[in-house]
Structure 1
């Protein structure tokens, strides 16, 4: 007999090794892990709205008998039972979940009735579990109702000692009522809480009309109903969330305006957006006030108590309450709740619409009520069978007693009863164990009555099981009972969506002086910082320039103005005044590249307010070389961040000034050497942006254009001329006779060693204020009427007293109506400051 060769152990081990591709193994392992997290930890089930840890805590309390009508138990006891029997994870995770279910500011309808410190809206943690106590809230018991009646499937717990429910019967749609938040692998869920009564009404609507649309259901479910109240901004985002399963709902704090202490105002915050930390909000508001980000707040304090939120924000007298409110909303008191209605459907994650969510819940309740009815029917039929046996025994009571008495033991008695009277085994067992007292006539009447009741119950249960409509009627009846017992008023309201709060809404509207230097430093300052003084003054410091830098441009604008900024190179940029950093008078400014994308050799030469432009307005431009051009304002509607071309310039020419005209004005072009020409703007036909224009004035020698004034005889009284050495004059309009363009013009002002060359010309009227800024950073503000009115071809008077080597760099005029508005605002602020001082 031949012997088999010995088997090499290494060959055996090698045969047991499976060869797999590592990327396939890693992919499958990761998918297994992800699904474990998705199904076993992070996502709620669409049927009961609970994640496993919530379900296990409630079931553990149910098994412990810690219900709403028992005394509280130590939280550590509940955590221990849950961890030991059902949830093999850390006790801190279980306790955190228990705490969350007990917090009235976290759950719309808390599922745990806590006793002790369970944290606060300020982010304070709950006390340790050994110090707190808990029991089930009464509404939580509705989630577990009838769980003993085979209404849901059970699975083995982690160590196969016990079983736990895969889902709870859930007598109401808890996923929508209390919402859910969770982060799984590659997905997350964020379902907002809702009002119980509204959700139940929508569920009943869908039961009655399975073809109901989301819009129909929204007649009942108005939107999320957060436990902390507040207000949802607009309804479109809610509609999108209900229609698609995803949406971004803006939630705004509830604020009230109160008057106190001699008409001072304060903002009182009474409700905060959901899941916001109140203490942190108050802290951040205080920080922004200290840093000057939010202005107008005099005092801030938290007066909240057990009755509710009350954060008091007292305003300085004269502060604009709407501006402060908008600042608070943008930074602190408005948040976005990103709705992701993701839940497990048959163990798979799915994003659900409002209708789909309720449809799955209705299907669940149909199964629960069906299984419960079948369970009750089986019990009723068993009971009816026993009662039939008892009634039969009572009819033959003497023979039954005799048969039992003659039997040797109970087994023999049961057998004899079955053979003699045709009792079933269950009936015979019951009769053998009956007491003699149950054979009385009164007991017999009670059995008869009970039998009739059981038969009626069997008939009713059969109706429910045989008719889907009866089944649905039961579901609706039970939902109405839940609503009647637990429904309350909606807490979250709605406010009109007037659009996102813009940065402009947060900036007080005030006149500003904007300064730009040759080295491209820019800043803005309140015009009110510069008091009007008599002509001939030195003014006050307006910018502390670095050595070698000079002021190149100054202009006036309201903080809310949208400006067109023209450069000497013929390009135009768009700027919002509030985008310019506000700084003090002695500040240098910040780099203009953060505000305007200017080329390195470009300088601003003119600024126009976009508010002055309509479809019938023109931008009238003049160049140093004497060219003038009109272009329709609507050609400047779309301006890139890098600017667009406003005019084509010849070599050596530069754009010096721009005015808004309406087709019926006169233009006065002034030159550096003191010449001026007046002609009707209609002599300049409208041209496109890239045109060069036509000649407006003939220049002699090295003369160049200084600026242009657009005159409306109904609005203006004088032409104001200012020279670089600080001299100037007002001259009546009549002194400038109208002639054709492209002439040499007339002498406007003498330009000699004293006056220097002309800096600018402007059309002015009574009440206007002149702002003149020197190259070294001095700003002088004076009333136009303080400057003498004299004729043409004169020397003028001192407007600004300049230091040696300094010169007027630029001027701008604040119109009389804006001076009046500024004065009114200043007086209001002064009154507020005086009251604050008192």
Structure 2
């Protein structure tokens, strides 16, 4: 024992026998690398040669050792798991059983390696039954992975406790890495390889063998793309090529479905195949949630009619639903997913990202090694057999002498020595007539041992004929095996022949279709471009209706029902927009939100609408009071805003480019005030502000200078008493339009804008219309042309469309004419203009 060791174990002050100084960062780095490589090579990544991780390989090898083949009866899964864990894979039974289950699931593996009996889970995410309740055996195709294992075709290594040996890799008669794919997360890397069709992979492998210089495009003539066990579709060929060429890519998967008509005449969408690895029950649940929340509109019923024969999810649509729109919503949220290809596998124990060609090349090299070692093994056995047969033939030719020699020998050892020619026959009491054959007794040790074990009946002439026939066959076998070992061309021919045989036995039809990528179809593409009317109530219910659903009427009519607000609610705003327009929605509190018109749900005239909080993030008490169509302005223009208390400000339109989903501040509105109207201006015109008590003021818009979004603005009009601003329009000196003024009681008039002379900002203005008891206060003002139409809507939901030319043109300070007959207790809420250019004659 070294003198450096302490004599007393309790003496903690004694020096250590050997101290090595190591930087802690170096030790941590090396330890982490060792751990990472252990996980990478020992658990998470498949071997490029057989496409299996250690746990898969050990399960199959354990089943092979147990004799649980495809022709045997099923064995309890717990027995297989126990054998695997006890002898080869000491990492816990749950991990082994989970792997065994997945190898038996026909919706997880394209070609299942295990034939399971019992509950092995489902596409709904249901777990498999406990291992004590299920049974399993190898699938026939798994036996192809193990074939020739006993012929020294692969190297073996000690198991975890050195009691047994296990194969480092399986002979893998099939290119399993591509057939069944693989997925796994290692340390710092992951793999995700899609499954493929056996027939296509075999054809591509044969093509590669025949054409070693082929390209990815050449291989894709045979392998069209991944072939998932659940079928479905792949959208686009370019992502497939990218994945095959570089080893990485993103493949868009799409469910298989069709639009049908049901017995009631309405449409239904029937889903029959789902993207790979999607949970069917979860998809159905999420579709139902989106329907209930209004994200998907037009669905009347949803049913999962799937059974053992396959997937069938039925989505019934409402009669007035646009099937294309619902289809696109389903594709966007539920029926399409992405498969991220990472073709990472172990090559000589090192992780590598491989192209399709490299993957096949490594497989072919593995099979060349397997076939070579198998041929060497078979050749050795054939030569050994030929050697024995040669001895038997010689023994038949000298049968009498050999029998006499054996019978005259003292013991078996002496007889063997005599047969091998190591014993002088004079030492034996043998008739001289047989001594002349001594020179023939030069059998090898193996031959001599075999002759001594032969029965007398084996020395007949008939037996000799059979031996000669077998010897010729063995010689032919030897010649063939030697040719395989001597010629790589012959060896490759063997590989091709075996692959073709496997194709004939296991090939099936492709399940996944490859679709042309016609571009991403957006929701907007499926919405017809048309003018519509958007109605908003004070309690923030919102909807849209086609503008052409309302026929023009003569002025003075009552109109028809355009909305049915609930009790205590009333209409606050109606405006015209195109379904494809982007809208800026300004609220009374000075916030602005952005949305597409088609995002507003389309509903019938009598519908109440949908809560706006589902579309824009409105706070309590916040309501939309002004809407601007972004298609009507450019970035060098301004948005000019006016509040109820007469504050005016202009803000450059480019400050509204990036609007959050929660909105942004458009104007600072003081308590007790509210934003009432917004106009698009370019700095060259005038603003006309109208009040509820019938006053108007016109002034140069540049008198209200440009300000930031958070500014309050400047005074635009001097309001008297409790008067408030009703609206605002923008005009120019040569503007031939008229100012349309409509009061709460449904009266209105047109007055040429040229009659409103410009003044300085913050004046009292001029009288526009009389707001007596008959007219009531002003509801709003609009700038109109003679060929325009207006849509007037009341608080109670009555709506009337009227040609502007029906309304008289009169001067300022007049009462106007009856535009809409408003019932007692009702009043005009809002007016919008349909330009003459958009009206279909």
Give the TM-score normalised by the residue count of structure 1: 0.78
Say if 1:580 and 1:595, in contact at 8 Å, map to a contact too. no
Per-residue deviation, 1:799: 4.0
Aligned partner of 1:265 in structure 2 is 267
Unpaired segments of 5 or more residues in structure 2? 422-438, 667-674, 708-715, 761-765
Moved more, 759-768 or 364-373: 759-768
Aligned partner of 2:210 in structure 1 is 208
Per-residue deviation, 1:768: 3.8
Aligned partner of 1:693 in structure 2 is none
Separation of aligned partners in 1, 2:60 and 2:106: 17
Aligned partner of 1:831 in structure 2 is none
Q: In 2 relative to 1, CA 277–589 (structure 1 residues): closer, same or farther, beyond 3 Å?
A: closer
Unpaired segments of 5 or more residues in structure 1? 647-653, 678-683, 691-698, 822-838
CA deviations on 1:172-220 (whole Å, 9 max, x unpaired) are 1101101112222222221111111111111112112222222221221
Aligned partner of 1:833 in structure 2 is none
Per-residue deviation, 1:378: 1.1
Separation of aligned partners in 2, 1:189 and 1:340: 5
CA deviations on 1:602-651 (whole Å, 9 max, x unpaired) are 998662352x78x9x998999999x9x9x9xxx989944489999xxxxx
Separation of aligned partners in 2, 1:340 and 1:497: 22
Say if 1:324 and 1:506, in contact at 8 Å, map to a contact too. no
Aligned partner of 1:158 in structure 2 is 160
Separation of aligned partners in 2, 1:7 and 1:676: 108
CA deviations on 1:228-267 (whole Å, 9 max, x unpaired) are 1011122222222222222222211111222122422211
* Secondary structure, counterpart of 2:628 in structure 1: strand
Separation of aligned partners in 2, 1:311 and 1:580: 28
| Matched ranges for 1:279-294 at <5 A | 279-294=281-296
Separation of aligned partners in 1, 2:582 and 2:405: 109
Aligned partner of 1:449 in structure 2 is 469
2:542 counterpart of 1:524: yes
Moved more, 124-133 or 177-186: 124-133
Q: In 2 relative to 1, CA 820–301 (structure 1 residues): closer, same or farther, beyond 3 Å?
A: farther
CA deviations on 1:21-77 (whole Å, 9 max, x unpaired) are 444333333322222222112211111011111111111111122211222222222
Per-residue deviation, 1:558: 4.3
Aligned partner of 1:33 in structure 2 is 35
2:741 counterpart of 1:722: yes
Aligned partner of 2:220 in structure 1 is 218
Per-residue deviation, 1:798: 3.8
Aligned partner of 1:82 in structure 2 is 84
Say if 1:560 and 1:578, in contact at 8 Å, map to a contact too. yes
Separation of aligned partners in 2, 1:146 and 1:374: 12
Aligned partner of 1:350 in structure 2 is 352
* Secondary structure, counterpart of 1:44 in structure 2: coil
Separation of aligned partners in 2, 1:15 and 1:497: 71
Separation of aligned partners in 1, 2:117 and 2:8: 69
Say if 1:764 and 1:784, in contact at 8 Å, map to a contact too. no
Say if 2:62 and 2:84, in contact at 8 Å, map to a contact too. yes
Separation of aligned partners in 2, 1:9 and 1:157: 37
2:125 counterpart of 1:104: no
Say if 2:790 and 2:804, in contact at 8 Å, map to a contact too. no
Within the candidate set 457, 464, 475, 1:437 is matched to 457
Say if 1:543 and 1:588, in contact at 8 Å, map to a contact too. no
Aligned partner of 2:483 in structure 1 is 463
Aligned partner of 1:61 in structure 2 is 63
Within the candidate set 805, 809, 820, 1:791 is matched to 809
| Matched ranges for 1:700-711 at <5 A | 706-708=728-730
| Matched ranges for 1:47-196 at <5 A | 47-196=49-198
Q: How many residues align?
A: 771
* Secondary structure, counterpart of 2:315 in structure 1: strand
2:444 counterpart of 1:424: yes
Separation of aligned partners in 1, 2:756 and 2:51: 84
Separation of aligned partners in 2, 1:67 and 1:465: 31
* Secondary structure, counterpart of 1:148 in structure 2: helix
Per-residue deviation, 1:449: 1.8
Separation of aligned partners in 2, 1:595 and 1:498: 38
Per-residue deviation, 1:393: 2.3
Say if 1:155 and 1:163, in contact at 8 Å, map to a contact too. yes
Say if 1:304 and 1:310, in contact at 8 Å, map to a contact too. yes
Per-residue deviation, 1:557: 2.5
Q: In 2 relative to 1, CA 270–637 (structure 1 residues): closer, same or farther, beyond 3 Å?
A: farther
Say if 1:251 and 1:334, in contact at 8 Å, map to a contact too. yes
Give the TM-score normalised by the residue count of structure 2: 0.77
Aligned partner of 2:833 in structure 1 is 813
Separation of aligned partners in 2, 1:378 and 1:76: 40
Say if 1:706 and 1:758, in contact at 8 Å, map to a contact too. no
Separation of aligned partners in 1, 2:304 and 2:615: 41
Separation of aligned partners in 1, 2:466 and 2:398: 17
Aligned partner of 2:405 in structure 1 is 403
* Secondary structure, counterpart of 1:200 in structure 2: helix
Separation of aligned partners in 1, 2:337 and 2:123: 16
Say if 1:562 and 1:577, in contact at 8 Å, map to a contact too. yes
Per-residue deviation, 1:227: 0.6
Per-residue deviation, 1:782: 1.4
Separation of aligned partners in 2, 1:377 and 1:119: 47
Within the candidate set 376, 379, 387, 1:377 is matched to 379
Moved more, 3-12 or 749-758: 3-12
Say if 2:101 and 2:128, in contact at 8 Å, map to a contact too. yes
Per-residue deviation, 1:107: 1.0
Aligned partner of 1:832 in structure 2 is none
Aligned partner of 1:486 in structure 2 is 506
2:50 counterpart of 1:18: no
Separation of aligned partners in 2, 1:591 and 1:104: 41
Q: In 2 relative to 1, CA 414–489 (structure 1 residues): closer, same or farther, beyond 3 Å?
A: same
CA deviations on 1:541-584 (whole Å, 9 max, x unpaired) are 879999xxx99975333454223679999999964335679999
| Matched ranges for 1:388-787 at <5 A | 388-419=390-421, 420=439, 421-500=441-520, 502=522, 504=524, 511=532, 513=534, 524-527=542-545, 535=557, 555-563=575-583, 575-577=595-597, 590=613, 594=617, 607-608=628-629, 610=631, 639-641=657-659, 706-708=728-730, 721-723=740-742, 725=744, 728-729=747-748, 750-751=769-770, 759-763=780-784, 768-772=789-793, 781-785=799-803
Say if 2:599 and 2:615, in contact at 8 Å, map to a contact too. no
Say if 1:730 and 1:787, in contact at 8 Å, map to a contact too. no
Separation of aligned partners in 2, 1:256 and 1:582: 25
Cα root mean square deviation, aligned: 5.2
